[in-house]
Amino acid sequence: MAIENEIHPIQVNILFVLLFRTRARFTELNNLKVPSDQFNFHIKKLIEATLIEKTDQFYNLTPKGKEFANRFDTENLVPERQAKVSALICCIRIVGGKTYYLMQKRLKEPYYGFIGMISGKVKWGELTREAAIRELKEETGLMGKPHFLGIEHKIDYDKNGELLEDKFFYIFLVQEFKGNLKRKILGGENKWMTEKEIMISGKTFDDAHDVFSIIKKRNFRFIEKRYSVKKY
């Protein structure tokens, strides 16, 4: 059950009550005075979702319920949206004195057709370096040792000022790798390109220059910017 997407306002209220106390009785939870049969239904749903549990005559949040309820906006009683965390992997190889970067052309929305470095979301409980290793293998078929370079906080708005995306990228460099490159994957196409080829492609992300500055300086940097994107 995807409780985060399907949670009912009555269930939200139950979690909210338990957020500020260690345990509560049935009558204490039902501060909205919902009919007993209806309220029992929502209690059962929260127990099935392992967000609450009953001990003797008292209900309390489970560890999963505590984590979920703690993400609530306590004023509006809705789960609070937060920035996404991703790993961005820069793979470099030098051929004939030229530096080539492994780029991926997006063949999925958003940013269909754009060219960027390999990236992917950090999973729940995963170290960022582990995410970089996993994403590199999944997206390219290559294996390598990622070296941490810096962090970028990128916030994208559309031309009307509407917030589109809010992301933190942990940037890693890979210079030695093994395996056979996957040229095409579901949703993307991989290709080695020089920086000049990337920049004149007309399909780069707004933060391309900032990412390259982190890669080239090779010392830890943190960049945080808002961007007004022309296409999404």
pLDDT tens for 153-165 read 999 999 999 999 9
Place of tokens 């106390």: 21
Would you state the pLDDT for residue 5? 54
Q: Are residues 141 and 205 in the same domain?
A: yes
CATH number, domain containing residue 163: 3.90.79.10
Last residue of a domain, one of 79, 110, 128: 79
Same domain, 160 and 75: no
Domain of residue 66, CATH code? 1.10.10.10
Tokens matching residue 177: 């790798």
Verify that 95 and 186 share a domain, yes or no. yes
161: domain range? 84-228
- CB-neighbour burial class of residue 92 (10 A; exposed 0-12, middle 13-18, buried 19+): middle
Segment 174-226, tens digit of pLDDT? 999 999 999 999 999 999 999 999 999 989 999 999 999 999 988 899 999 99
Kindly report, residue by residue over 55-96, the tens digit of the pLDDT.
999 999 999 999 888 888 777 767 778 899 999 999 999 999
Please, which pLDDT band fits residue 232 given cuts at 50, 70 and 90? confident
User: Contact, 118 vs 139, CB < 8 A?
Assistant: yes
Per-residue confidence (pLDDT) for residue 77, from 0 to 100? 65
Number of independent structural domains in the chain: 2
> Domain check: are 74 and 113 in the same one?
no
Same domain, 106 and 64: no
Whether 10 and 55 share a structural domain: yes
For residues 69 and 147, membership in a common domain is answered with: no
Looking at the predicted structure, is the pLDDT value of residue 4 above 70? no
Characterize the bridge pairing of strands 221-228 and 147-157.
parallel
Residues 60 and 93 occupy one common structural domain: no
Lowest-confidence range among 8-12, 52-56, 71-75? 71-75
Among 31, 54, 79, the domain-final residue is 79
203 and 97 in a common domain: yes
Same domain for 57 and 33: yes
State the helix-helix crossing angle for 9-19 and 36-48, rounded to 10 degrees: 70
Task: Please check whether residue 42 is in contact with residue 14, taking contact to mean a CB–CB distance below 8 angstroms.
Answer: yes
CB burial of 147-160 (b: ≥16 within 10 Å; e: otherwise) equals: eebbbbebebbeee
Q: Are residues 72 and 97 in the same domain?
A: no
* Residue at a domain's end among 64, 79, 94: 79
| 132 phi and psi angles, rounded to 5 deg | -65, -45
Using DSSP's 3-state secondary structure scheme, residue 24 falls into: strand
Q: Cα separations (Å) of 68 from 31, 58, 93, 111, 154?
A: 21, 20, 43, 31, 26
Taking residues 11-26, report their average pLDDT: 93
Cβ contact 60:53 at 8 Å = yes
Q: Please tell me the distance from the alpha carbon of residue 71 to that of residue 27, in angstroms, as a whole number.
A: 25
| pLDDT in the model for residue 1 | 41
